[in-house]
Amino acid sequence: MHNQNKITLSSAAYQQLISHLVNIEDHLDGLIDEYFPSLTIEREEFSELIAKYINELNAVMGKISVSADSGNIFPFVIIGSEVTIKDLDDQETYQYCISLPYQKDTRKRYISYMSPVGRALLLKRTGEQVSVQIPNGISRYQIESIRLYA
pTM score above 0.75: yes
Is the same domain home to 89 and 144?
yes
pLDDT by residue, tens only, the chain of 150 residues: 344 578 888 888 888 888 888 888 888 778 788 878 888 888 888 888 888 999 999 998 888 888 888 888 899 999 989 999 999 999 999 999 998 776 665 456 888 888 888 889 999 999 999 999 888 889 999 999 999 876
Q: What's the CATH code of the domain at 94?
A: 3.10.50.30
Domain range enclosing 16: 7-66
Identity of the amino acid at 107: R
Is the same domain home to 92 and 135?
Answer: yes
Q: What pLDDT, on the 0 to 100 scale, is given for residue 2?
A: 41
Final residue in a domain of this structure, among 66, 89, 106: 66
Statement to judge: residues 47 and 85 lie in one domain? no
Cα–Cα distance, 68 to 118 (Å, whole number):
29
Spatial distance between the Cα atoms of 107 and 37, rounded to a whole number of angstroms: 33
In angstroms, the first-to-last Cα distance of the chain is 26
Residues 11, 13: Cα–Cα separation, whole Å: 6
